[in-house]
Structure formats: structure tokens, C-alpha cells
Amino acid sequence: MRALVTGVGRRLGFYLCEQLVAAGWQVTGQYRSTRPELERLRSLGVELIQADFTRPNEVAALAAGLVDCPDLGLIIHNASAFEPLAEDVAARLAQFDRFYQVHMAAPFALNQALAPRLAGNDNASIIQITDIYIHAPPPQFASYVATKAGAHSLAMSLARELAPAVRVNTIEPGPILFLDEHDEVWREQVLAKTPLAREGGLEPIWQAVQLLLSNTYMTGASIKVDGGRSLARL
């Protein structure tokens, strides 16, 4: 079976490609910017397609390349854009539009184009990666969180629309892997409010993916993978 994973240039998307290949999947990976690390995925046999999700024509081209793929059985929407809220109103509006295109419009377009193909295969799944902060959106990340919440809502609607042929679920990561720009003070503050008191790493997300793939009675579910962070005040 073939899986499409978006946002494979680094971090979680890159890791998920490696794990899917090891599990026997044929993998197509979408990336926006060329990175030396992508050669590792090519060496594993991953088919890599460059597409900027802020450009609808490139999203459409990605979908067109897979619409006739007979064995497409999984889509993992991992591509993400992240940054704090911009300073001025014009920049905020432009930022919101970019987040909307990446987190909502591109997954929506891919789902609409590829759902009929998925429906032709047994145990087909769509997994949307969102964020625990969709439930308590911090003002400094308003555009990011709002569009991630929109992605969650679209996934829940799709779970109803595509059942029983295709299962649709979401994964909500917490502090699994800090960004380079997160200083030590920030990390300590986050982990102090995380019951398991440690950074999760990428493996727990893969374990959640495995659960969603193997449990054929799960659709419309959201799995928090956050070390208990959402139990505390976000």
C-alpha cells in the first residue's frame, strides 16, 4: 500500500516517512524546500514531490499525480507553518492567509481529490496532525492555532462524510520536540506544566499512527500525545 505524507523535509514528517518505509509502505512525500536530508528519504525509496501549499496550482498538481494511484491507502497531513503573531495588521492578515492555505485549504483540496481513490482500498485512513493548543489558543499564536483548529473541524466533518469507506482521525501533539529557537527558560516552563516532565520525542507520534492504522473501529477520534500537558492550564 502507498502512503502520502506531507511536510517531510524535517522533524516529524521526515521521521514518519522512515517509519512507514520500515513497516513496508510505499511512500510519497511532499516537501516545500529542498534540504540535504531529503537524500536520505530518496535512498529509502520515498517518492518526493515538491509543492508549496500556499500555491493552489501546486497542490492540485500533487493531487493529480496520485489520483490514479491504485494502492493509495493512507494520507498523513503533517505539513505546518508556525510563527508568532505578526506585529501589524497587514502582516497578520497575510500570515493568516498563509497558515490557512497550509493547514486547511491544502489538506481540504487533497482530501477532496483523493478520497475516491482511498475509498477503493480496505482500511484506508486519513490522519491530520493538529495541536493540543487548539483547545486553549494562546493569543500570541492566534493565526496558527485558529487554522489548526479549522483543520481539526474539517477532519471531523470528513470522518462523517467518508464513513464507512475511509476512516479519518487526528493526532494532537504537545511538547514532543522543541524548536531550536526555544531557549532553556521556555523549555523549563513548558516541562514544569507537563505531568510527565520530559520532552516526548517523535516515537510517541508514530505509536499513535500505528494505533490509528491497526484499530479499525476508530474514526472521528483525536489522540493527545502530550505527556499530560493539556491537563494543566495551557
Quick check: 89 pLDDT over 70? yes
CA angle 180, 234, 5 (to 5 degrees): 55
Residue bearing the bigger pLDDT, 177 or 225 = 225
E strand or H helix at 20: helix 11-22
Please give the average per-residue pLDDT across 92-112, as a whole number: 96
Q: How far apart are CA 128 and CA 79, in angstroms?
A: 10
Tell me which residues are annotated as active site: 144
Who's near 140: CB < 8 A, 6+ residues apart? Answer: 84, 85
Q: What confidence tens digit (pLDDT) does each residue in 17-69 have? A: 999 999 999 999 999 999 998 999 999 999 999 999 999 999 999 999 999 99
Tell me what pLDDT residue 83 has: 81
What's the grid cell of residue 149?
483548529
Q: What confidence tens digit (pLDDT) does each residue in 181-228 have? A: 677 887 888 888 999 999 999 999 999 999 999 999 999 999 999 999
Report, in this order, helix, strand and coil percent for the chain, each rounded to 5: 45, 15, 35
Tell me what pLDDT residue 181 has: 67
What's the grid cell of residue 63?
493531487
Contacts 24+ apart (CB under 8 A), 59-62: 59/105, 59/106, 59/109, 59/110, 60/109, 60/113, 62/30, 62/110
CA angle 123, 115, 225 (to 5 degrees): 60
Nearest to 1 by CA among 66, 74, 67, 63: 74
E strand or H helix at 124: strand 124-129
- The top-level CATH class assigned to 2-224 is alpha beta
Tell me what pLDDT residue 137 has: 85
Please give the average per-residue pLDDT across 91-110, as a whole number: 95
What separation in angstroms does the CA of 83 have from each of 86, 132, 143, 145, 234?
8, 16, 9, 10, 18
What mean pLDDT, rounded, does the chain reach? 94
Tell me what pLDDT residue 135 has: 92
Please give the average per-residue pLDDT across 66-79, as a whole number: 96
Tell me what pLDDT residue 234 has: 66
Calculate the dihedral angle through the C-alpha atoms of 39, 42, 44, 49, rounding to the nearest 10 degrees: 130
Tell me what pLDDT residue 188 has: 85
Amino acid at 226: D
Q: What confidence tens digit (pLDDT) does each residue in 143-171 have? A: 999 999 999 999 999 999 999 999 999 99
